[in-house]
A and B are shown apart, each in its own frame.
Chain A
Amino acid sequence: MTTATTPVRTPERASAPAVTARKHRPGLRRRLELALLLGPALLLFFGFVLVPIGIAAFYSVFNWNGFGPLDDFVGFKNYSDAFGGTVFQSAIVHNLIIAGLSIVVQLPLSIGLALLLNRKLRGRAVLRALVFAPYVLSEAITAVIWSLMLQPNGFADQTLRAAGLGGLVHNWLADPGIVLYTMFAVITWKYIGFGIILLLAGLQGVPAELREAAALDGASAWQTTRHVVLPLLGPTIRIWIFLSVIGSLQLFDVVWIMTTGGPANASTTMATYLIDHGFKRYEFGFGSAVAVILFVICFVFALLYQRFALRRDTQGALTRMVG
Chain B
Amino acid sequence: MRSGKFGLSMGYLAAIVVVGVTVVPLLFVALGGFRTTAQLNTDPAGLPGPWVFDNYASVLGSSAFWTFLGNSALIAVIATALAVGLGSMAGYALSRYQFKGREAFYTLFTLGLLFPLGVATLPLYLWLRQLGLLETFWGVAIPEAAFSLPVTIVILRPFMHAIPGEIEDAAVLDGTTRLGFFWRILLPLSTPALTTVAVLAFVTSWNAYLLPLLVFNDAGHFTLPLGVASFQSQYSQDTARVLAFTALSAIPALAFFVLAERRIVGGLTGSVKG
Q: Do A and B bind each other?
A: yes
User: How far, in angstroms, from A91 to B47 measured CA to CA in the complex?
Assistant: 40
Is A4 in contact with chain B by the CB < 8 A criterion?
A: yes
Query: Closest residue of chain B to A54, judged by CB?
Result: B123
Give every chain B residue within 8 A of A148 (Cβ-Cβ).
28-29, 32, 232, 239, 242-243, 246
Is the pair A5, B90 in contact by a Cβ cutoff of 8 Å? no
Flag the segment in A77-85, A120-128, A172-180 that touches B: A120-128
Main secondary structure of the interface of B (DSSP, over half): helix
Query: Closest residue of chain A to B107, judged by CB?
Result: A319
Known: A154-B44, A221-B2. A149 touches B274 (CB 8 A): no
Is A93 in contact with chain B by the CB < 8 A criterion?
A: no
Interface residues of A in 164-206 (CB under 8 A from B): 189, 193-194, 196-198, 201-202, 205
Give every chain A residue within 8 A of B272 (Cβ-Cβ).
198, 201, 236, 239, 320-322
Query: Closest residue of chain A to B208, judged by CB?
Result: A138
Is the pair B110, A41 in contact by a Cβ cutoff of 8 Å? no
The digit string for A209-236, where 1 denotes a CB below 8 A from any CB of B, is 0011001000001001000000000011
Interface residues of A in 13-66 (CB under 8 A from B): 13-14, 18, 30, 33-34, 36-38, 40-42, 44-45, 47-49, 51-53, 55-56, 59, 66
User: How far, in angstroms, from A202 to B243 measured CA to CA in the complex?
Assistant: 37
Is the pair B146, A10 in contact by a Cβ cutoff of 8 Å? no
Is the pair A138, B90 in contact by a Cβ cutoff of 8 Å? no
Is B226 in contact with chain A by the CB < 8 A criterion?
A: yes
Is the pair B179, A318 in contact by a Cβ cutoff of 8 Å? no
Give every chain B residue within 8 A of A317 (Cβ-Cβ).
274
Which of B2, B118, B124, B250 is within 8 Å of A215, CB to CB?
Answer: B2
Is the pair A201, B273 in contact by a Cβ cutoff of 8 Å? yes
Is the pair B268, A250 in contact by a Cβ cutoff of 8 Å? no
Instruction: State the interface size on chain B (CB cutoff 8 A).
Output: 111
Known: A34-B93, A45-B109. A116 touches B10 (CB 8 A): yes
Is A275 in contact with chain B by the CB < 8 A criterion?
A: yes
Is B216 in contact with chain A by the CB < 8 A criterion?
A: no
Is B51 in contact with chain A by the CB < 8 A criterion?
A: no
Known: A51-B127, A113-B14, A322-B154. A45 touches B149 (CB 8 A): yes
The digit string for B1-25, where 1 denotes a CB below 8 A from any CB of A, is 1110001101111110011011101
Known: A141-B225, A149-B25. A119 touches B3 (CB 8 A): yes
Which of A5, A37, A236, A275 is within 8 Å of B122, CB to CB?
Answer: A275
Give every chain A residue within 8 A of B184 (Cβ-Cβ).
5
Is the pair B45, A162 in contact by a Cβ cutoff of 8 Å? yes
User: How far, in angstroms, from A128 to B268 measured CA to CA in the complex?
Assistant: 14
Is the pair A127, B19 in contact by a Cβ cutoff of 8 Å? yes
Is B162 in contact with chain A by the CB < 8 A criterion?
A: no
State which size class the interface on A falls in: 35 or more
Is A87 in contact with chain B by the CB < 8 A criterion?
A: no
Give every chain B residue within 8 A of A196 (Cβ-Cβ).
18
Is A314 in contact with chain B by the CB < 8 A criterion?
A: yes
B109, chain A: closest CB distance, angstroms:
7
B78, chain A: closest CB distance, angstroms:
12
User: How far, in angstroms, from A130 to B24 measured CA to CA in the complex?
Assistant: 11
Is the pair B3, A120 in contact by a Cβ cutoff of 8 Å? yes
Is A264 in contact with chain B by the CB < 8 A criterion?
A: no
Is the pair A41, B149 in contact by a Cβ cutoff of 8 Å? yes
Interface residues of A in 108-150 (CB under 8 A from B): 112-113, 116-121, 127-134, 136-141, 143-149
Which of B45, B206, B268 is within 8 Å of A322, CB to CB?
Answer: B268
Is A323 in contact with chain B by the CB < 8 A criterion?
A: yes
User: How far, in angstroms, from A51 to B137 measured CA to CA in the complex?
Assistant: 20
Give every chain A residue within 8 A of B116 (Cβ-Cβ).
246, 250, 298, 323
The digit string for B87-123, where 1 denotes a CB below 8 A from any CB of A, is 1011011100101000001001110111110111111
Is the pair B28, A155 in contact by a Cβ cutoff of 8 Å? yes
Q: List 16 A-B contacts (CB under 8 A).
A: A14-B174, A38-B90, A66-B126, A119-B7, A119-B11, A120-B3, A139-B225, A140-B226, A158-B44, A189-B21, A252-B209, A257-B232, A275-B210, A295-B119, A295-B120, A322-B200
B: which residues have CB within 8 A of A? 1-3, 7-8, 10-15, 18-19, 21-23, 25-26, 28-29, 32, 43-45, 82, 86-87, 89-90, 92-94, 97, 99, 105, 108-110, 112-116, 118-127, 142-143, 145-147, 149-151, 153-155, 173-180, 182-184, 200, 203, 206-210, 214, 224-226, 228-229, 232, 239, 242-243, 246, 249-250, 253-254, 256-258, 261, 264-265, 267-274
